[in-house]
Amino acid sequence: MSTITMRASKFDQASKEQLRRVAILFQKASVPTRFQILLTLSEGEKSAGDLCAEVAQSRAAVSQHLAILRHSGIVRARREGQFQYYELTDLGRELAAVADRILELE
């Protein structure tokens, strides 16, 4: 079976709701800073301050991006004292792996 035939059958099996969720997920992750955050977190859990330094953005800007990624199920947060730490969910790790593969192609 050819790759094109296999892809077509996957699309045929997916419901419109599933395709809508996938489209929303890619839309939420489509901002370059969010991909920077995603790739940074693929190296392991980071504090909000560490993420600000890594992506060279203000705390307010990073906080907004993290909120979108959290609500999309891509990252999760945990509080330890006064500090907030972030890590990728399983879905986030899968997206980071896709981004890594694309970056390797270039």
Query: pLDDT of 49-102, one tens digit each?
Result: 999 999 999 999 999 999 999 998 999 999 999 999 999 999 999 888 888 888
Please tell me the predicted confidence (pLDDT) of residue 52: 96
Task: Summarize pLDDT for 33-42 with one digit per residue, the tens.
Answer: 998 999 999 9
Q: How many domains does the chain divide into?
A: 1
Tell me the whole-structure pTM to 2 decimals.
0.77
Distances (CA, A) of 73 to 4, 20, 21, 24, 77: 30, 15, 11, 11, 11
Rounded CA-CA distance 90/97 in Å is 11
| Distance from chain centroid for Cα 77 | 13
Write the CATH number for 71: 1.10.10.10
Domain with 64, as residue range(s), is: 3-105
